[in-house]
A and B are shown apart, each in its own frame.
Chain A
Amino acid sequence: MSLKSTLCAATALSLITASGAFADGHSATITIATVNNGDMIRMQGYTDQFTAETGIAVEWVTLEENVLRQRVTTDITTNGGQFDIMTIGMYETPIWGANDWLVPLNDLSAEYDVDDILPAMRNGLSYDGTLYAAPFYGESSMVMYRTDLMEAAGLEMPDAPTWQFIREAAAAMDDPANEINGICLRGKAGWGEGGAFITVTGNSFGARWFDEEWNAQFDQPEWADALNFYVNLMNDYGPEGYATNGFNENLSLFNQGKCGMWIDATVAASFVTGDDSTVADSVGFALAPNAEGVEKRANWLWAWALAIPAGTQQEAEAKQFIEWATGKEYIELVAANEGWANVPPGARTSLYETPEYQEVPFAQMTLDSINAADPTNPTVDPVPYVGIQFVAIPEFAGMATEVSQEFSAAYAGQQTVEEALAKAQAITNEVMEAAGYR
């Protein structure tokens, strides 16, 4: 008798306590899903101040980027209502906004000064002229290089290098005996990882994903040029196993002094000049390169932004948080506590007008890079889509991940560049036909 009934009682009791636990969510708690990037983790540290100011408690759900995407996408498409604020990017925002899944941010307070948001960011996070997500930080891509190694090689980095110069510099700095790779670039599969990088590289060689009739363009010579150039560059002067390197892997390589150059997100600048870096004192910055004679550079445009899912019960509180986290005061708060180099960059015009910030070594190059990116006109030849390192259609994430997996297999030497491009062409056309574009 005793065992079973005890178990039953225990179960019943715990189920009651378990259900009690989620019933007590009092009105002033908001739940925020976010990515585990450095700036967000820093923001979590300051949440107490927000709670003290407003009385609104904040619950954080911090997830790794891939898990976060899958989690918030499931929730928004099913109207699950798990989060009051979601951290999303420039790719998701216009698509979700078009579906009316996000609360329009068109009634933010005057102090928030929405016009202060950098125009490129504001455009990228709007749909039909309405802002749907507020940028927490924004980024483009740029060249980060070791000034000491460049000097030793007798070269000088121009402010706007070409790919040909990048290759020359990589050759000059490459030093396998001392574990220094001439250049480190992303090769990891995934549309937001290596996929983003190879897409902007393609743009800078005059390639594009689609022509104006949505026909895939991977069979065009520009793509072959871009991919061959990348593969040769990386095979000659890149690190071992670069086909699995993403942002984080390259960041840690660069910080360990194992890269002569690294072309990646502008936000990396504060890390490579920060405490964790062994080369902090000798990093220079330049615009992302282009192929000779091509007007587009390998600049992307991205923002991690805060958005409110439609249907949340805590819309007012969520807006209050967004104004706090993406406003001017938060920037000043971080600057006061951790120095200007550590404030979230790339979101506000006023930041780049602050004299203290202008002294930060990477500030001007970050702004120039962001301004060099034009999502509505990303390629040399005209395209039917918006977005630079992505194509702002719902089908893109899935197919670009598959395409980048084929490319990564080519980087790893498991297939040739031609095979990878042929597969990319087939995958893309297959998806576009299924989706009814062609």
Chain B
Amino acid sequence: MARSVTPRRKLLNTTIAWAIGLLIFFPILWTILTSFKSEAQAIASPPIFLGFDWTLENYRVVMERSDYARFLWNSIIIAGLSTVLGCIIAIPAAWSMAFVPSRRTKDILLWMLSTKMLPAVGVLYPIYLIFIELGLLDSRAGLVVVLMLINLPIIVWMLYTYFKEIPGEILEAARMDGATLRQELIYVLTPMAIPGIASTLLLNFILAWNEAFWTLNLTAVNAAPLTAFIASYSSPEGLFFAKLSAASTMAIAPILILGWFSQKQLVRGLTFGAVK
């Protein structure tokens, strides 16, 4: 609904929008700035905004103390695989819900979402015991499965809403031309659904990346992702704001950069069927 407005109005809007944008972004900016301060300057009163002695010391200490690359790699693998696996399972389900709806489709959909409302800690012991039985503790495979299951309802739902927006006539036409179900799925549906699938992948990658309960409690060394990395920098003894900031920046930077580069896709897809 964007319309043309007077330059004065545009200036006003721009100012307000930038002010709000910077305000929302400020905590992240402050964290990044603090990560380049010395511990003493990080708590200096009054606080120093830019005129401090920039140092990479905190990053050096963090890199020396923990194997950042391993945590990062685990985060990428776990978040990535759980998202991809979730999509592979969700695409057929969402497809059939969207194109062959039955009376119970909506109930199934909402039931799936309601499984997400169970408090994770309530089932920590059952899951932990199952993981011991299956030998999955501290394995990426186990975490991939758990995170996939946690996010599956969201994936199914997002895909469902995209698929529903694809006009059924196109499919009918394809079917008339003698396309099989598989061909229909691969040659007709998939290309049309790519933007939706892309944003679903992105959103769930973010959710899996940020999951901090299971990733912390089911891992030790081999599968520990960045959430565990952060847990070793929160409230240690002594001054820690600067080191915490450096570790935080390292933990969020990859996903922040990914998100910024792909924000167009993410935004385009982030409708959940909100727009008709």
Interfacial residues, chain A to chain B (CB-CB below 8 A): 1, 3-4, 7-8, 10-11, 14-15, 18-19, 21-22, 25, 31, 33, 36-38, 41, 44, 59, 61-65, 67, 70-71, 74, 78-83, 246-248, 251-252, 255-256, 271, 276
Contacts of B233 in A (CB 8 A): 36
Chain B residues with Cβ below 8 Å from A247 are 237
**B236–A37 touching, CB < 8 Å:** yes
Interface residue B85 (Cβ < 8 Å from any Cβ of A): yes
Indicate if the CB atoms of B137 and A82 lie closer than 8 Å. yes
Instruction: A340 to B128: give the CA distance in the assembly, Å.
Output: 43
Q: B158 to nearest A CB, angstroms?
A: 17
Among A22, A71, A78, A251, the one with the most B-chain Cβ atoms within 10 Å of its Cβ is A22
Across the interface, name the chain B residue whose C-beta is closest to A36: B236
Interface pairs A-B: 8 shortest CB-CB: A18-B140, A62-B232, A36-B236, A82-B220, A22-B222, A59-B221, A64-B234, A38-B237
Q: Which residues of B contact A74 (CB under 8 A)?
A: 124-125, 128, 217
Contacts of A41 in B (CB 8 A): 65, 236
Residue A256 contacts which of B43, B80, B125 (CB distance < 8 angstroms)?
A: B43
Report which of B65, B81, B140, B235 forms a contact with A64, defined as CB distance below 8 A: B235
Give CA–CA (A328, B222) in the complex, Å.
Answer: 32
A1 to B144, CA, bound (A): 24
B231's partner among A7, A64, A78 (CB-CB below 8 A) is A64
Q: Determine how close the nearest CB of chain B comes to the CB of A343; give it in whole angstroms.
A: 16
Query: For the complex, is B224 an interface residue (Cβ under 8 Å from A)?
Result: yes
| Contacting pair A18 B144 (CB below 8 A) | yes
* A-B residue pair count with CB separations less than 8 angstroms: 117
Asked whether, in the complex, the Cβ of A252 is within 8 Å of the Cβ of B84, the reply is no
Identify which of B91, B231, B238 contacts A251 (C-beta below 8 A): B238
Chain A residue with minimal CB distance to B237? A38
Q: What is B's interface to A at a CB cutoff of 8 Å?
A: 39-40, 43, 65-66, 77, 80-81, 84-85, 87-88, 91, 124-125, 128-129, 132, 137-141, 144, 186, 190, 216-217, 220-224, 228, 231-240
Can you identify 28 A-B contacts, CB atoms within 8 angstroms? A4-B186, A7-B88, A11-B84, A11-B85, A14-B80, A14-B81, A18-B81, A18-B140, A18-B144, A19-B139, A21-B140, A22-B223, A36-B233, A37-B236, A38-B236, A41-B236, A61-B220, A61-B224, A64-B231, A70-B217, A81-B132, A82-B138, A246-B235, A247-B237, A248-B240, A251-B237, A255-B239, A271-B237
Question: Once the chains are docked, how many angstroms separate the CA of A255 from the CA of B240?
Answer: 13
Q: Are B231 and A11 in contact, with the CB atoms below 8 A?
A: no
Chain B contact surface mostly: helix
Residues of A within 8 A of B87 (CB): 7
In the complex, which residues of chain B have a beta carbon less than 8 angstroms from the beta carbon of A70? 217
Are B186 and A1 closer than 8 Å at their CB atoms? yes
How far is it, in angstroms, between the C-alpha of A57 and the C-alpha of B91 when the chains are bound? 44
In the complex, how many angstroms separate the beta carbon of B151 from the nearest chain A beta carbon? 15
Pair A64/B217 contact, Cβ less than 8 Å: no
A63 x B228 contact (CB < 8 A) = yes
Is the pair B234, A252 in contact by a Cβ cutoff of 8 Å? no
Contacts of A18 in B (CB 8 A): 77, 81, 139-141, 144
Closest chain A residue to B139, Cβ basis: A22
Beyond A15-B141, A19-B141, whether A37 also contacts B221 by CB under 8 A is: no
Known A-B contacts A14-B77, A79-B132, A80-B137; the reply to A63 vs B231 at CB < 8 A is yes
